Structure 1
């Protein structure tokens, strides 16, 4: 068996691998597995954090997810996972509600799978999502205006935030770049994070649908704690093990 105390590069390589595969690591578990002190593991995690591989959290570290591609490129993806999330989230929508659908490629899939028979008021800051919502004859569609950011595909800035802050939402389908039990939902864009935090304050129910590669993980800017989120939706075949880390949080988990 390799003496990991003697070979720090191999030790850190194994930690990198576990972060890629599992999204987070625990100091005590790594200490026992590698037969080194927790102090040594903490030094390793500090070094990996300096490289941007992970973020230190209490008792361990969580993986830093890769920054997202532009919305247009992600919208072309059309992956089966996002399609399944769209179907699962659409089934959670309540009749006659005022619903906010946040910008994002996964939320675009939600807009393509809404039930035809429900009367709804649908609000979004995404022009492409608004076009999809126009297909539903019983739905009123409100598009928040302003500068459209290419990364998120949604309007951001003072204008859409002021418009949003005059509306109360029954449900909000919130997009995110990463989610972890300790850090909650996070994104890469500062302005987008502020807009989403304001949405959380205006919504009775927050629903987040995430692909498996975003859990557990962390991006740069905080949006909402796990306690702020009502429901986490994930694809069972891809994310069943990953959502287990959220079991102790007061969050409903829907596997679709």
Structure 2
């Protein structure tokens, strides 16, 4: 079997099964594990999968810059934002993560909602300037330009002094085994801290992020209460997440 044929087969298995186990695939093809692992390394370097211990998972496609992500999937993000807005209750302290879907959420919070919004996203803070009843606390720090959020020691210190009722988290991948993931280690660390300072974590994720993984783990599925995603997502894709304990909110 040619290298190109093996790589095509690996991607077919990923699409079909949601993961590749190097040992099993090597045995099935009568090849060495080293050959399969080399193929996995090369595919990972091309951004076509995410290597994990023993094999690989589908790579998250959510790697474009903020401006391009804001333009893509706008109808789905709007639906998720409206569904998530309905979950926020008066009087709560809510931490809104950065990301294009959460910007939409900020735009669609009810005008009569009285609550406190904490965010490390300047984009979200600006969206809430004209909201009549929301108190907004903006966390400072070093700007991570890809997501337009503050990160670093100053951010972590400020976040550690806050206890939020709800954290609305953005992710680049959500997988039943890999958990919630993102593509930057420092951003993952800040997201993890926010989740652990919050009573409840809600993830907003469009379909292409489900069953996918990025390089850095934020939290396992067990530390997430709810997932807000598109109503069009098939039950086959949602079943492993539901079995892991997630409440699914369809938008």
- Counterpart of 1:46 in structure 2 is 37
- Equivalent of 1:94 in 81, 86, 89: 89
Distance 2:76 2:116 in 1: 27
Query: Could you say if the C-alpha distance between residues 44 and 184 of structure 1 is closer, same or farther in structure 2, counting changes exceeding 3 Å?
Result: farther
Q: How far did 1:78 drift?
A: 6.2
Unaligned runs of 5+ in 1: 1-5
Where do 1:211-230 residues align within 5 Å? 211-230=206-225
Distance 1:47 1:24 in 2: 19
Distance 1:141 1:65 in 2: 31
Is 1:200 aligned to 2:191, yes or no?
Answer: no
Q: What's the TM-score once normalised by structure 2's chain length? A: 0.86
- Counterpart of 1:233 in structure 2 is 228
- Counterpart of 1:177 in structure 2 is 172
CA deviation vs aligned residue, 1:174-194 (integer Å, no higher than 9, x gap): 111111111101111111011
Is 1:132 aligned to 2:127, yes or no?
Answer: yes
**Counterpart contact for 1:24–1:60, Cα < 8 Å:** no
Q: How many residues are matched? A: 246
CA deviation vs aligned residue, 1:206-241 (integer Å, no higher than 9, x gap): 000111111111111110000010101110214544
SS for the counterpart of 2:116 is: strand
- Counterpart of 1:112 in structure 2 is 107
SS for the counterpart of 2:19 is: strand
CA deviation vs aligned residue, 1:150-189 (integer Å, no higher than 9, x gap): 1011111111221111110000001111111111011111
**Counterpart contact for 1:130–1:143, Cα < 8 Å:** yes
Query: Could you say if the C-alpha distance between residues 27 and 91 of structure 1 is closer, same or farther in structure 2, counting changes exceeding 3 Å?
Result: same
CA RMSD in angstroms, aligned pairs only:
2.6
Q: How far did 1:245 drift?
A: 2.4
**Counterpart contact for 2:167–2:201, Cα < 8 Å:** yes
- Counterpart of 1:246 in structure 2 is 241
Q: How far did 1:137 drift?
A: 0.8
